[in-house]
Amino acid sequence: MKWIACLLLLAPSSGYPQIRFDEITQQAGIHFQLNNGAHGQFHQLELMPGGVAVFDFDNDGCLDIYFTNGAALPSLRKTGPEFYNRLYKNNCNLTFTDVTEKAGVAGDGYSMAVATADYDNDGYTDIFVAGANRNILYRNRGNGTFEDVTQKAGLAVTHPKYGKMWATSAGWLDYNNDGRLDLFISNYVVWNPRTEPHCGAADQALYCHPDNYQGLPNQLFRNNGDGTFTDVSTRSGIGNYIGKGMGVAFADVNGDGYTDIFVANDSVRSFLFENQRDGTFKEAALEYCVALREDGSAIAGMGVDVRDINNDGLPDVFVTGMINDTFLLFRNLGKGRLFADETMHSRLAVVTRQLTGWSAGVYDFDNDGWKDLFSANSHFPQLGRYMGRNSELPNSVFRNLGNGRFEDVSPMAGTDFQRAAMHHGAAFGDFDNDGKVDVVVSVLNGPAKLFRNVSAGGNHWLGVRLVGSRNNRDGIGAQVRVMLPDGTTLHNHATTSVGYASSSESVVHFGLGKSDLVQEIEVRWPGGSTRKVYGMKPDTIITIREGDK
């Protein structure tokens, strides 16, 4: 019913502007190629890389891009520039300059994922790179260069049972509302090139199904506020659960003022770590009914975004999966700690069944007031042989019709959008500050793609940049409510943890439809304090500082 009530207010479904993307990678000067190091040995690792981050590392108001990259196998060494992670600085005119070497962020080892945030609250966004057996924390010095502080920060830990682990995603959150960003790492499976199982026939090797590998626990590191972290994986309960972790997203799903953690697992149930508000978590995905598909099957969960999709103020869950899994959409019912599986009713079951989606995001691409869905798609290599078609796929964008249903508008999203490739990572942000959310996508063994959102329609928008003082500087975890003069209320929250292995801009984006005035903005900071701003003109990024009157 809530879907319908909101529909009456925004009513965008007829004559809507078409969501369209132009690919501008070449003219933007981005030449990154993700190299997975494959050479016919079918190491599981080769299937998984591709994390991308969108963030403003030099505070010039223009979003930059960081790409993670693979390494030689089985050595896991970046033996040459072809394996470097890459940082592209936005020149603020939709062109970019590769500043990797100067910034000192080429990485080390086989990188998978990236998570960006200002963990030391110094006003500069830092980079955490997650990978196979090697994670790196790069502290932003504020002068265009970064320092590897992994060891110093206490993040170069080995698990007492599993040793060095294979991380596929990571994210920043403030789980204890102490104003400092903590680090969550999603780990995949036990992997060792010497003991890796072999699958397929003798004359035709194949990548093994994840069922052939043992899963790993995830990790949580508490920020001590002095540049160091404490491994609280066991103490918090996070490390007590074995999964095959992929994407991770954060939101306060039960409205108790504390951030909860959703982890998409590959071929086993998803995790929802419910924050117990005492430094511990309870894994409660089954209780919340978000662990499995309605028919009891675990999907090959990949990317995830947890956001309010139906404008009822409650974060919902969107998860991508593999062919025939169908992507999942769970609607937060807001009472009884329960979600409803909306996969079929939303029409996503039908339109995603033939897809394999990696990274994902829930953003209002046409600024009509309803958040849409994006997935970076490609099947696993070799599946093409069985499917009778190539493993490359175009990406997908599903338009939110405002009535609980989604329409696959990908075929109309522009010529560039139709090009199939081995899309993996994806991160979201407004690169040209035109109010339309753009997307950068990594491509396995191919050139990355920068999609500029060129949707027409003239809808209004608002970006909310949060600056915490008692809370973390990025305002991560803060919930933002926007009220329009017609009574429409829009909800979103600040997070950079979006999709698979990727990290998106922290500015909180709102599409406002035709409304040319924002009546009220309310920010609820982690910990419960609120701040309200009244009577704003749209089509701008407003900065809201914690504590300002």
Partner 1 sequence: MLERLILLALLQTADLTTADQLFNTGRFAEAEAQYRRLVQKMPNEPALLWRLGACDYQLGNFAAAEKEFRKALVAEPNLPPALVGLGTSLVALGRSDAALPFLERGVKLAPSNRMARRALGHAYVEQQEFLKGEPILRRLVEEDPRDGESWFYLGTLLFNRHYDDAALSALEESLKINPANVEAQIDRASALAQLGRNQQADAVFQRLARDPKLQGSPEFLLAYAQFLFQNERYDDALIKVEAAIKAAPKAAKLHFWKARILFHLDKTDLAIPEAEQAVALAPELPNARNLLLRMYRAQGRDREAAKQADWLLHHENKVALGQGR
Verify binding: residue 59, partner 1, rule CB under 8 A.
Answer: no
Is residue 467 close enough to count as binding partner 1 by CB under 8 A? no
Residue 206 binds partner 1, judged by CB under 8 A: yes
CB nearer partner 1, residue 44 or residue 472? 44
Residues in Cβ contact with 323 at an 8 Å cutoff, skipping those fewer than 6 apart: 353, 354, 355, 356, 379, 383, 387
Give the alpha-carbon dihedral of 295, 296, 297, 302, to 10 degrees: 100
218 binds partner 1, rule: CB under 8 A: no
Q: Which residue has the tokens 């981005």?
A: 30
Rounded to 10 degrees, the C-alpha dihedral 169/174/180/182 comes to -30
Which of the ranges 256-264, 367-375, 381-389, 472-480 carries the binding residues for partner 1, by CB under 8 A?
Answer: 381-389
- Smallest distance, Å, CB 98 to partner 1? 40
Q: How far is the CB of 390 from partner 1 (least distance, A)?
A: 12
Among 548, 528, 545, 514, smallest CA distance to 11 is for 514
Count of positions on this chain that bind partner 1 (CB under 8 A): 47
Cβ-based neighbour number of residue 211 at 10 Å: 10
Give min distance, CB of 115 to partner 1, in A.
Answer: 23
Which residues from 185-204 bind partner 1, rule CB under 8 A? 189-190, 199-201, 204
Q: Which residues contact 367 (CB under 8 A, 6 or more apart)?
A: 435, 436, 455, 457, 459, 460, 461, 511, 512, 513
Q: In the complex with partner 1, which residue's Cβ is closer, 187 or 223?
A: 187
Strands 182-187 and 199-201: unpaired
For the chain, count helices (H), then strands (E): 8, 39
Options 69, 233, 265, 310; binder of partner 1; rule CB under 8 A? 265
Asked whether position 319 contacts partner 1 by CB under 8 A, the answer is: no
φ, ψ (nearest 5 deg) of residue 427: -135, 155
Q: Identify whether the C-beta of residue 239 lies closer than 8 Å to the C-beta of residue 165.
A: no
Judged by beta carbon, residue 348 or residue 501, the one nearer partner 1 is 348
Near partner 1 by CB under 8 A, which window of 162-170, 387-395, 481-489, 490-498?
A: 387-395
Fill in the DSSP letter of residue 299. P
Tell me which amino acid residue 219 is.
Q
Residue 217 in contact with residue 239, Cβ under 8 Å? yes
Is residue 213 a contact residue for partner 1 (CB under 8 A)? yes
The residue within the footprint of partner 1, chosen from 27, 158, 240, 324 (CB under 8 A), is: 324
Q: Minimal CA–CA distance to 269: which of 238, 234, 293, 239?
A: 293
Can you tell me which of 129, 165, 289, 521 binds partner 1, judged by CB under 8 A? Answer: 289
Return the amino acid letter for 19.
I
211 interacts with partner 1 by CB under 8 A: yes
With binding defined as CB under 8 A, does residue 286 bind partner 1? yes
Q: Nearer Cβ to partner 1, position 92 or 338?
A: 338
Tell which one of 12, 50, 243, 404 touches partner 1 (CB under 8 A): 243
297 binds partner 1 (CB under 8 A): yes
Is 1 near partner 1 (CB under 8 A)?
Answer: no
> What's at 166, amino acid-wise?
W
Applying the rule CB under 8 A, the residues between 325 and 364 that interact with partner 1 are: 336, 338, 341, 344-345, 349-351, 353-354
Q: What residues line the site for partner 1 (CB under 8 A)?
A: 189-190, 199-201, 204, 206, 211-215, 242-244, 265, 267-269, 286-287, 289, 291-298, 323-324, 336, 338, 341, 344-345, 349-351, 353-354, 383, 386-389
